[in-house]
Amino acid sequence: MRRVVKWLTMMFLGLLVLVAILFVLLPAVFASSLA
């Protein structure tokens, strides 16, 4: 059970990192496409 919790925590952290990267990249891509 603890292994499952650890795996879920790792997945959750990975998703948070992906969302953070998207929030950083999307405005840059949007600005460059408008320019």
The residues, any chain, with a CB within 8 Å of residue 13's CB and separated by 6 or more, are: none
- pTM for the model stands at 0.61
What residue has token string 């600005």? 31
The CA distance from 31 to 16, in Å, is: 23
pLDDT tens per residue across span 3-20:
999 999 999 999 999 999
The CA distance from 19 to 3, in Å, is: 24
User: In the structure encoding, which two tokens stand for residue 28, read together?
Assistant: 């840059």
**pLDDT of the residue at 1:** 74
Alpha helix ranges (H) inside 1-35: 2-34
